[in-house]
Each structure stands twice: as C-alpha cells, then as structure tokens.
Amino acid sequence: MQQTVTNWVSLIKGFRNGDRLSAQLDEAELALLWGVICCYPYAFDTPHCLALLMDLIDEIDQLIPAQDGMILFIF
C-alpha cells in the first residue's frame, strides 16, 4: 500500500513537470489507488505513513492549479 501511494506521488510530480506519458492510466490502477486511499489511514496509523498520504494530497492540490484553469480529472 505504501508503495502504491509513493508511486502516485511520483507519477503526479512527473506529470506536473511535463511527463505526459504518466497520464495514461487504466481503470485497474485507479481502482487500486481508490482502495488504498480508503484503507490507508486505518492500516498505517503512524505519523510517517500518514505524512505519505498527505504528500499525495498535496501533489493533487498542486496539480489542479498547474493546468491553467482547466480541471484535470485523474480520479
């Protein structure tokens, strides 16, 4: 689960930095991320692990303004 969150943080950072290949995702990857996000706070209740989830949230927050007013739907 932690690796999934880490991978998504890297994927979103890459997209913001111009790596448009990272935008090619399938439904299974998105479903996995959704499941991890739903379970993560209950399975990993330590400050370090919760900080990783907050990193994901921060990357998503930074992604939306980076699209020049366009809303990018990744989830």
Average pLDDT per 10 consecutive residues for the chain, totaling 75 residues: 84 79 70 84 77 87 63 48
State the pTM of this model: 0.66
- Cβ contacts of 54-62, under 8 Å, gap ≥ 24: 55/5, 55/9, 56/5, 56/8, 56/9, 56/12, 59/8, 59/9, 59/12, 59/13, 59/16, 60/12, 62/12, 62/16
Q: What are the extents of the domains in the chain?
A: 2-67
